[in-house]
């Protein structure tokens, strides 16, 4: 698979590392942003289970769009 951002800029030979969770485009390490998010799991009664870090891949436009100002 080819990175979309590299493809539109004519940059050949890059290896994609993931798929943007928001727009679904394929991204390379240069154009993708891998972030760690904490998934909060609440279990009805009793003590809550531990928060587990999860990974999420976003392309740079989606990453900047989600970034709070
Ligand atoms: Zn790229
Ligand atoms: Zn995206």
Q: Which residues surround ligand 2, an ion (CB under 5 A)?
A: 20, 22-23, 59, 62
For residue 33, which ligand has an atom nearest its CA? 2
Q: Indicate the pTM of the whole model.
A: 0.71
Q: Which residues surround ligand 1, an ion (CB under 5 A)?
A: 3, 5-6, 28, 30-31
For the chain, give the percent of residues with pLDDT over 70. Answer: 86
Distance 58 CA to ligand 2 centre (A): 5
| Between residues 13 and 24, the one the model is more confident about | 24
Pairing relationship of beta strands 32-39 and 18-19 according to DSSP bridges? unpaired
């Amino acid at each position: 698979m080819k990175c979309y951002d590299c493809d539109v800029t004519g940059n050949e030979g890059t290896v994609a590392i993931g798929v943007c969770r928001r727009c679904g485009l394929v991204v390379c390490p240069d154009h993708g942003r891998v972030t760690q998010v904490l998934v909060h799991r609440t279990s009805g009664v009793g003590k809550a289970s531990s928060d587990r870090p999860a990974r999420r891949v976003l392309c740079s436009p989606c990453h900047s769009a989600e970034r709070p100002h």
